[in-house]
Amino acid sequence: MSTTFQKVAAIRGMNDILPGEGARWERFEALVRDWLQQYGYRNMRTPVLEQTRLFTRGIGEVTDIVEKEMYTFTDSLNGESLTLRPEFTAGAVRAAIEHNLIYDRPQRVYTMGQVFRHERPQRGRYRQFHQISVEALGMSGPDIDAEMIVMLARLWKLLGLNDIRLELNSLGASEERAAHRAALIEYLERHRDILDEDGLRRMYSNPLRVLDTKNPVLQEMANGAPRLFDFLGAESRAHFEGVCQRLDDAGIGYTLNPRLVRGLDYYNLTVFEWVTDRLGAQGTVCGGGRYDGLIGLLGGKPAPAVGFAIGMERLLDLWSQVVPVEVVPECQIYIVHQGEAAQRKAAGIAESLRDAGLAVIVHAGTGSFKSQFKRADGSGASVAIVLGDDELAQGTASVKYLRADALPDGEALAGQQTRIPFDMLAQALAEHLA
Ligand code: ATP
Ligand code: MG
């Protein structure tokens, strides 16, 4: 009895990253890790699943993420409500509190990986996507806010990206936001007739969020709304000026955007976004800011903090537009062979080459020399090693140099074929391919 199995496809908005692309992701991640290390950030990894309460409390009940984007389900074993992380900061702060990370000293940490939001999939907007989330925990001054922005400018430079601009705002302190909130509600009440469903619902629960609208009809109204920036007191202004001065010191340009509020409720003082026009509607590649209240809100001993998150898909999309996608070779050396004895010898030789640090593929199975050579070429290897009866009898390998560009004395060697005794192969090839 046989039943036909209906093929399974990936979940909508969740992408497979296939081998060629995977190599580019790895290159990108390696560059990012080096960059983070240069600023003293250390990697941490938190679970993909957390208790739902962490996010409703941390991100805020009346936000897009918590209201409609979270993958939340009940653990059927114990009835707990769990949520796939929609961002990293809440989890990082939870871990920092749980393990007393900032008990005796501030911490610079980062996490990198998948996050999940149930949004309408489109270019630059997916249901599973990747973020690099960077947090400076326990540091209060504008110096660290500015350092984070400067370090991001360095990343764009390392990646060869020019078309990203910085938007900056300050959300002030909670009393200042409260005063602004009252004025804002009054203003929104006067414009009640044009508010959309979201706007009406949020007018009293989270009026600031009404201004963060993508509805063009509301944007004009939002432009005329009382600006939080005008409600800032001396201390908040000084912090903001401190950030701006340091950006000026570093020669980093920015636009003050008084409407920038960010999609999460935990921010105060500095908020910023890096935006490009090269990605269509989804142009924000990085967003961040200060979240001095979050550690206390999540039950920790209150401590200041600041951080940002980069959307990796968007940044990689941008990077691909500027830096050509290069084909990364599958290996340096591809071994072709004929006959079982040669195949077994090939396996041993490959191990000795790997001992010398080389990347080697042994042709799997059998096949004509011609078809094996085709594979060798396709693999991007610089060198093919040929093992047949004659090579085994002589104790030497035929070595064919396939590509000039990967070889130091490439021009002379490319296309050449030589014989090298088995016991000298590793040393000779390690020298050639160094
Ligand atoms: P947006 O306004 O585009 O929805 P956001 O304010 O929700 O962004 P953040 O929560 O600040 O985004 O997340 C940080 C970064 O993650 C964003 O700047 C963006 O680059 C990226 N990002 C956010 N949502 C998605 C998504 N659904 N798919 C891919 N990348 C995303
Ligand atoms: Mg969003």
pLDDT in tens, the chain (434 residues): 668 899 999 999 999 999 989 999 999 999 999 999 999 999 999 999 999 999 999 999 888 899 999 999 999 999 999 999 999 999 999 999 999 999 889 999 999 999 999 999 999 999 999 999 999 999 999 999 999 999 999 999 999 999 999 999 999 998 999 899 999 999 999 999 999 888 898 899 888 888 877 788 888 888 899 998 899 999 999 999 999 999 999 999 999 998 888 767 788 999 999 999 999 999 999 999 999 999 999 999 999 999 999 999 999 999 999 888 778 899 999 999 999 999 999 999 999 999 999 999 999 999 999 999 999 999 999 999 999 999 999 999 999 999 876 566 655 666 788 999 999 999 999 988 87
Domain closes at, from 299, 322, 345: 322
Dihedral angle computed from the Cα positions of residues 90, 93, 95 and 96, in that order, rounded to the nearest 10 degrees: 180
Nearest in space to 331 (alpha carbons), one of 404, 371, 382: 382
Nearest in space to 319 (alpha carbons), one of 191, 155, 182: 155
23 and 115 both lie in a single domain: yes
Mark the binding-site residues, compressed into ranges.
87-89, 117, 131, 135, 262, 266-267
What is the distance between the alpha carbons of residues 101 and 109, in angstroms, rounded to a whole number? 10
379 and 419 both lie in a single domain: yes
Distance 247 CA to ligand 1 centre (A): 24
Number of domains in the chain: 2
145 and 57 both lie in a single domain: yes
352 and 301 both lie in a single domain: no
338 and 416 both lie in a single domain: yes
Nearest in space to 99 (alpha carbons), one of 178, 44, 180: 44
Give the ligand at the shortest distance from the Cα of 284. 1
337 and 308 both lie in a single domain: no
53 and 110 both lie in a single domain: yes
260 and 315 both lie in a single domain: yes
- Residue 284 alpha carbon, nearest atom of ligand 1: 18
Within a domain: 1:
no
247 and 385 both lie in a single domain: no
Dihedral angle computed from the Cα positions of residues 105, 108, 113 and 116, in that order, rounded to the nearest 10 degrees: 70
337 and 318 both lie in a single domain: no
Nearest in space to 139 (alpha carbons), one of 10, 1, 25, 306: 306
Evaluate whether 138 touches 107 at the Cβ level (below 8 Å).
Answer: yes
What is the distance between the alpha carbons of residues 131 and 326, in angstroms, rounded to a whole number? 23
Where in the sequence is the domain holding 90, given as residue range(s)? 19-172+232-322
Site of tokens 């871990």: 95
346 and 288 both lie in a single domain: no
What is the distance between the alpha carbons of residues 424 and 411, in angstroms, rounded to a whole number? 22
Residue nearest to atom 15 of ligand 1 (CA): 311
278 and 341 both lie in a single domain: no
Helices (H), 298-434: 312-322, 340-355, 369-378, 389-394, 410-413, 422-433
Residue 241: which CATH number?
Answer: 3.30.930.10
Give the ligand at the shortest distance from the Cα of 134. 1
Distance 129 CA to ligand 1 centre (A): 9
Residue nearest to atom 23 of ligand 1 (CA): 311
Residues with CB under 6 Å of ligand 1 are 87, 117, 119, 124-126, 129, 131, 263, 282, 284-287, 309, 311, 313-314
- Which tokens sit at 95? 């871990």
